[in-house]
Amino acid sequence: MSTKPAEPDDVASLYRRAFETFGASALWSSRPVRDPTPADALAITHSLRVEGNLQARRLAEQIERACRAAL
């Protein structure tokens, strides 16, 4: 059983998770912003899909769903 609290699926937390997990491998050409907007989050999804692995692709899909929900 995990004691780590579940991270919320809002745009900002997904954006930060992307940089924490895939920053060096898939987002090497991007710099994180302090307060990401949905547009900032959508801007990294292409790199996650192209440069990342299957988990990065799934995170890109989560980011896209969260951005659509934020509209």
Tens of pLDDT, residues 13-26: 999 999 999 999 99
Answer whether residue 1 shows pLDDT above 60: no
DSSP string over 8-29: P-SHHHHHHHHHHHHTTTT-TT
| pTM metric for this prediction | 0.84
Tens of pLDDT, residues 44-66: 999 999 999 999 999 999 999 99
Phi, psi of 37 (to 5 degrees): -95, 170
